[in-house]
Chain A
């Protein structure tokens, strides 16, 4: 129960951070920041990146990491693009539903297989996650290059472009998908036995083993979920650019790790909350868009993310230390 209370109060911090940043930009550049165009473009930019970050988060909860997540997403996108183009070539009159179904199913299956392969290397062969996924990152990248010869695949039906470029009312379709995925991951982590076991395994692997948890099975499934997220993200990426290509979104990799840690996930495993991550992602998007309006390039995003990470770390390290100091002072006062 105590644990529960603490995590609730954490979310409040993250919401507060988001509100402050949002208010700050709204007050300084109200005309542009609060414009419908800007808010909508922010909502367009969050999903693909946010879903990848969720996948990374699941891996990090097990005290691992998934460096291959972007490469996996690209490979999944390419696989589904090839299948889709084959299907539309063979059956030109195929309906919208079938088009979307083929794309989604192939992308999700491909991503999950990639994730399962990571899980196999890590849980069965016992390779360190960072090394295993470094290897599969190259492998997936390579397979995608071999299949496409490094060229982009373009020209998808309008139904695919719809996913990331249309809106329901004012909210982008992709943002709705992101929120649904987010809630599902949250339910998965907090309400299912497997989710609970992932936290257990991440916080203490040895204790989990002695509690007769099947660590191998848990790791395998955790990485499969991470791969699944890559598959879902690939659909949105594919739709947004209306093309798939090796190396799309490579810069997301470091940023995904960064955002997950900024969102309060402990890279040593066992600690982290989906909603904290959500508000961290939204806050960073506000900052990035705000600075964009102020005339900084997209590279500034890297600088901001990096400095934010250091600043947040400083706070998380310094606050307990200061508290301790205050406590000690009080104690010495009460003794004297």
Chain B
């Protein structure tokens, strides 16, 4: 394989562009504000990515299968609220928290999957409807929308640095936090599942061509159940990461990440028509979004510009993809 084919192959992938953007951006930012290139900042960005990153993996999975899920943020809000309020009363461990939120998320995802596989209509509409039902029921039934105290073990989990790199005298350590580690773990496991297991391959096959997948003997409903339940489960897990980071249960904030997550997944190169997208690309998509948000702060640009920049990134990136698709 010579250089030109290698180059052509690389430039056909979204990951290539995202990495170039990240590198160019880091170099420029390094000149403007050296604080950007510190370990502290890097791990800070990674930490902030975690909630969105784990949710994005679930959305990616759904998108690869050719479907759509807009209910994951409502699911996350429900899982977070129920889990924290139960654990506040009964106590438990971090493992319980993740298991419980994951199971609640998975069950709500099961509702999506059941309706979807029974009626076989637009997944966007179904999940739109269930999202309204889940979120509305949560806020209707709970006495207060916010929970200000969370179990101590969750707060400890949020502070836990798994892989310390630098320690300061005042006891502050910088390194890979448990939250970021959890995200990386989820992503590794999911990329193995997508790449090397038959169910993972089926997800790609279903998104690529539903009819072809059906003729090849792939069970459509089994694959759909797998995808939507897993997306719900990951949303539940992500919500616990969010709680342990901000130490506060706020369903409104979690519910509102919806569009950001979808934007990140699209930025990462997944196609809404299904059949393509990678975990690595999604990770880069989330990372790019947060890196740019973070650097705006370091550049001293008021945070009011946040949405303008994010909107422009989305428009430019999808316009770029659209123009590449057209035959030259």
Cβ A134 vs Cβ B140 within 8 A: no
Query: Which residues of A lie under 8 Å from residue B119 when comparing CB positions?
Result: 313-314, 317
In the bound assembly, the distance between CA atoms of A115 and B196 in angstroms comes to: 45
Task: Indicate if B87 sits at the interface (CB-CB under 8 A).
Answer: no
Q: Which of these, A134, A268, A299, contacts B314 with CB under 8 Å?
A: A134
Q: Which of these, A126, A128, A258, contacts B326 with CB under 8 Å?
A: A126
In the bound assembly, the distance between CA atoms of A124 and B155 in angstroms comes to: 50
In the bound assembly, the distance between CA atoms of A264 and B140 in angstroms comes to: 28
Q: Which of these, A67, A121, A146, contacts B315 with CB under 8 Å?
A: A121
| Contact flags B305-323 to A (C-beta < 8 A → 1, else 0) | 1111111101100110011
Task: Indicate if A17 sits at the interface (CB-CB under 8 A).
Answer: no
In the bound assembly, the distance between CA atoms of A299 and B74 in angstroms comes to: 13
User: Restricting to A231-273, which residues have a CB under 8 Å from any CB of B?
Assistant: 250, 254-255, 257-258, 261, 267-268
Cβ A142 vs Cβ B308 within 8 A: yes
Query: Which residues of B lie under 8 Å from residue A140 when comparing CB positions?
Result: 311
Q: Interface size for chain A: under 10, 10 to 19, 20 to 34, or 35 or more residues?
A: 35 or more
Task: Indicate if A168 sits at the interface (CB-CB under 8 A).
Answer: no
Cβ A139 vs Cβ B312 within 8 A: yes
In the bound assembly, the distance between CA atoms of A54 and B10 in angstroms comes to: 44
Task: Indicate if B220 sits at the interface (CB-CB under 8 A).
Answer: no
Cβ A132 vs Cβ B315 within 8 A: yes
Cβ A128 vs Cβ B140 within 8 A: no
In the bound assembly, the distance between CA atoms of A206 and B314 in angstroms comes to: 27
In the bound assembly, the distance between CA atoms of A136 and B308 in angstroms comes to: 9
Task: Indicate if A177 sits at the interface (CB-CB under 8 A).
Answer: no
Interchain Cβ contacts within 8 Å, total number = 139
Query: Which residues of A lie under 8 Å from residue B263 when comparing CB positions?
Result: 134-135, 138
Query: Contacts A134-B262, A309-B128 hold; do A141 and B311 have CB atoms under 8 A apart?
Result: yes
Cβ A306 vs Cβ B305 within 8 A: no
In the bound assembly, the distance between CA atoms of A193 and B38 in angstroms comes to: 61
Query: Which residues of B lie under 8 Å from residue A126 when comparing CB positions?
Result: 322-323, 325-326
In the bound assembly, the distance between CA atoms of A138 and B137 in angstroms comes to: 28
| Interface of A: prevailing SS | helix
Query: Which residues of B lie under 8 Å from residue A150 when comparing CB positions?
Result: 304
Cβ-closest chain A residue relative to B326? A126
Query: Which residues of A lie under 8 Å from residue B325 when comparing CB positions?
Result: 126
Q: Which of these, A67, A141, A305, contacts B132 with CB under 8 Å?
A: A305
Cβ A127 vs Cβ B322 within 8 A: yes
Query: Which residues of B lie under 8 Å from residue A136 when comparing CB positions?
Result: 311, 315
Cβ B311 vs Cβ A306 within 8 A: no
Question: What distance in Å separates the Cβ of B309 from its nearest Cβ neighbour in chain A?
Answer: 7
| Contact flags A146-175 to B (C-beta < 8 A → 1, else 0) | 100110000000000000000000000000
Output the residue of B121, B133, B136, B326 with the most chain A CB within 10 A.
B136
In the bound assembly, the distance between CA atoms of A150 and B315 in angstroms comes to: 23
Cβ-closest chain A residue relative to B313? A135
Query: Which residues of A lie under 8 Å from residue B121 when comparing CB positions?
Result: 313, 317
Task: Indicate if B135 sits at the interface (CB-CB under 8 A).
Answer: yes
Task: Indicate if B86 sits at the interface (CB-CB under 8 A).
Answer: no
Query: Which residues of A lie under 8 Å from residue B305 when comparing CB positions?
Result: 142, 145-146
Cβ B319 vs Cβ A121 within 8 A: yes
Query: Which residues of A lie under 8 Å from residue B212 when comparing CB positions?
Result: none
Task: Indicate if B11 sits at the interface (CB-CB under 8 A).
Answer: no
| Contact flags A41-76 to B (C-beta < 8 A → 1, else 0) | 000000000000000000000000001000000000
User: Restricting to A155-203, which residues have a CB under 8 Å from any CB of B?
Assistant: none
Task: Indicate if A302 sits at the interface (CB-CB under 8 A).
Answer: yes
Output the residue of B132, B310, B311 with the most chain A CB within 10 A.
B132
Cβ B140 vs Cβ A142 within 8 A: no
In the bound assembly, the distance between CA atoms of A141 and B305 in angstroms comes to: 10
Cβ B322 vs Cβ A258 within 8 A: no
Task: Indicate if A143 sits at the interface (CB-CB under 8 A).
Answer: yes
Query: Which residues of B lie under 8 Å from residue A299 when comparing CB positions?
Result: 135-137, 139-140
Question: What distance in Å separates the Cβ of B194 from its nearest Cβ neighbour in chain A?
Answer: 23
Task: Indicate if B115 sits at the interface (CB-CB under 8 A).
Answer: yes
In the bound assembly, the distance between CA atoms of A146 and B306 in angstroms comes to: 9
Task: Indicate if B188 sits at the interface (CB-CB under 8 A).
Answer: no
Task: Indicate if A293 sits at the interface (CB-CB under 8 A).
Answer: no
Query: Which residues of A lie under 8 Å from residue B272 when comparing CB positions?
Result: 128, 130-131
| Contact flags A91-111 to B (C-beta < 8 A → 1, else 0) | 000000000000000000000
What 6 A-B pairs come out closest when comparing CB atoms?
A142-B307, A302-B136, A139-B311, A142-B308, A138-B311, A306-B132
User: Which residues of A are interface residues toward B (Cβ below 8 A)?
Assistant: 67, 121, 125-128, 130-132, 134-143, 145-146, 149-150, 250, 254-255, 257-258, 261, 267-268, 296-297, 299-307, 309-310, 313-314, 317
